[in-house]
Amino acid sequence: MLVESLSAIFGIIGITTGILSILALKPHIWIRPLIEGETDSFIFTSITVLFDFLSTFFAGFAWIIGTKIVNQKIKDKITISKKEKMANKMDLTSFFFGLVGWILSILSLLFLFDFMKDDFASEVATIISVILDATSASLVIAVIFILNSENKKKSI
């Protein structure tokens, strides 16, 4: 559950910095000249890319660990609950949502460079990225609750 927790924490930070990146593109948000807003957006988007990567990495790592645990239980002929199977599938789904969100955050960052300059495209890519990252983080948080309830049931 530590890996899932790290994925969720990094995902929430990525979502927050993604929202700040969008707000930084709006000229009236910071009450500063637009040039500084673009710099702020670049900084926030760069941070978003980093945290999206970390969140996606840990979601994928959680899926790999979960798959190994499930395979070991199958090998040892230990019954696997439906919750464990579902949690493992949710980790994989979270990874894919996070991966697409991360790719979009990279694309958003590229749209802020002079050779691809397009603030509107950057904003749209960031909004979609934030939505996908929020979905990914929600799935990971759900996995944490599922595994926690499963562990409580086993300890009783």
DSSP 79: -
Nearest CA to 1 out of 76, 61, 51, 56 is that of: 61
In eight-state DSSP terms, residue 49 is H
User: Cβ-count burial of 14 within 10 angstroms (0-12 exposed, 13-18 middle, 19+ buried)?
Assistant: buried
Residue 155: band (very low, low, confident or very high) from pLDDT cuts 50, 70, 90: low
What would you report as the CA-atom Rg of the chain, rounded to the nearest whole angstrom? Answer: 19
Handedness of CA 96, 98, 103, 107 (dihedral sign): positive
Burial 47-64 (b: 16+ CB within 10 A, else e): bbbbbbbbbbbbbbbbbe
Residue pLDDT, tens place only, 1-47 = 789 999 999 999 999 999 988 888 776 665 555 455 567 788 889 99
What pLDDT, on a 0 to 100 scale, did the predictor assign at position 30? 59
Could you report the per-residue pLDDT of 102-149, keeping only the tens digit for each? 999 999 999 988 888 888 898 899 999 999 999 999 999 999 999 888
pLDDT at 151: 77
Overall average pLDDT of the 91-97 stretch: 95
pLDDT value, residue 117: 86
Question: How would DSSP label each residue in 95-153?
Answer: HHHHHHHHHHHHHHHHTTSGGG--HHHHHHHHHHHHHHHHHHHHHHHHHHHHHHHHHHH
| Ranges of each domain in the chain | 2-155
* 136 vs 8: CA distance, rounded Å: 8
Q: What is the pTM of this model?
A: 0.87
